[in-house]
Amino acid sequence: MASQDKPSGNMLWGGRFTGGLDPLMVHYNESIYFDKVLYKQDIQGSIAFARANAKNGIISQAEFQKLEQGLLAVQKEWETGTFVIVPGVDEDIHTANERRLGEIIGKDVAGKLHTGRSRNEQIATDMRLWLRDELHAIEDHLRAFLRVIAARAEQEIDVIMPGYTHLQRAQPIRWSHWMLSYGFAFAADLERLGEVIKRVNRSALGCGALAGNPFGIDRDMMAAELGFDGLLWNSMGAVADRDFVAETLQWGSMLMQHISRWAEDLIIYSTGEFGFVRLADAYSTGSSLMPQKKNPDSLELLRGKSGRAFGHMAGFMMTLKGLPSTYNKDLQESVEPMLDHVKTVGDSIQIANGVLATLAIQPDKMQASLDPFMLATDLADYLVRKGVPFRETHHISGRCVALSEQTGTPMNELSYAQLKAIDARFDEDIADVFDYEKSVEMRSAKGGTSKSSVLEQIKVLKAMIG
């Protein structure tokens, strides 16, 4: 067949090639079936680039208007689902859009669109535009989730539950305090996301293949039109840079780690052995064999998808680590993990929000799980207030625990005489120590589990949400 009919002859880069490509190589090389999601950003970037070329006199104003109208017509086809991808020809979203543009307005004018531009800068621009908008949407989802955490913490502040270390009952806390422990982790994620977006929202357009644009194109003008905060200042670095993707994947991995740990706690709290919470039917499933089962599948999927998110990050960083400078085709591997990661993270936040918004708590079960042994530190603190060194009080409190275990008597039911026999500095008001509400209220320093401290945390969290 004639060279122009060969796969390589139809590509944007095909002029210097005289032979056809291996059909498998054509499929292996093309990205159109996943980067087509960038169609709108590609067209926005092309319009901005054409406008800047019209300003420079590289194309006429009439040609710009024709290009703009044609590009908007291509966008309409994508939006209505009528765009037809030509297999083996439409290598990527850039090739597809330019091919279709030529069919609509004619190749003579369409062929001027790419003047001074490289797909290296084009894909970097498209990805940054798409990711910026998606991360703003994720910001909104994360804020909505944090508002639910703050609202429930405020509404359910009087509920007391066991706090755990090593999954062993440790000290009594407020249920709200537990929610806020994750709330502040998610709020830190929100702060970090804002920093990521700043670095995503920089323009590579006008950098050419690597060395810059030969026509003095106005990069600032294009960046302003596309809503970028500023420019990438080195053309070589701009086309090679995928740190903005890697950083997004790192950010999402940390967020998903927090979601996974949050989900794990709720999975445990929803078991029959704990019974602290009950998931709504909308976020649970049953068993195909055991009709009594109500499985926390939403939480298990959140926990599981954290591994998927980590994989995106680790895999892509392995792709980046050995690349020489400027553009290499390996960077095509940045698009798919970015797309899947953003969807995974965005969906996960919304599911977590739904779970928490519809979750029913069981305060009686939480109360019943409180154990007098959890007040052993309060027993030690009682003596500290009488001037006894803490290391000594810790030992004395441990002897009280041992006596409780040896006699089978709950620690709060040990007699005053029994406690006095352990240490003469115990007075009759020692009985006041065995009060869970008093215990949480004693933790009134900033960040503690007293009501005043928790209310202060809620106020701080709300300010962080914005």
Q: Which residues are catalytic?
A: 166, 287
Per DSSP, the three-state class of 360 is strand
> Which own/partner contact pairs does 105-112 have at CB distance under 8 Å and 24+ positions apart?
105/66, 105/67, 105/69, 105/70, 109/63, 109/66, 109/67, 109/70, 110/67, 110/70, 112/53, 112/58, 112/59, 112/63, 112/67
Q: What does the radius of gyration of the chain's CA atoms come to, in whole angstroms? A: 31
DSSP one-letter code for 21:
P
Q: At what angle do helices 243-269 and 335-358 cross, to 10 degrees?
A: 30
Q: How far apart are CA 35 and CA 332, in angstroms?
A: 9
Number of C-beta neighbours around residue 176 at 10 A: 27
Of 27, 39, 38, 258, give the one whose Cα is nearest residue 145.
258
The angle formed by the CA atoms of residues 137, 345 and 126, to the nearest 5 degrees, is 55
Per DSSP, the three-state class of 89 is coil
Number of C-beta neighbours around residue 405 at 10 A: 11
Number of residues that make up the chain: 466
- Per the CB < 8 A criterion, the answer to whether 105 and 69 are in contact is yes
Q: How far apart are CA 303 and CA 258, in angstroms?
A: 9
Which tokens belong to 135? 């991360």
Q: How far apart are CA 352 and CA 112, in angstroms?
A: 49
Is residue 378 within a helix (H) or strand (E), and if so which, with residue range? helix 376-384
Q: How far apart are CA 102 and CA 38, in angstroms?
A: 19
Per DSSP, the three-state class of 314 is helix
Q: How far apart are CA 51 and CA 63, in angstroms?
A: 10
- Please report where in the chains the tokens 């002859």 appear, as a residue: 9
Which tokens belong to 403? 């006596």
- Per the CB < 8 A criterion, the answer to whether 274 and 268 are in contact is yes
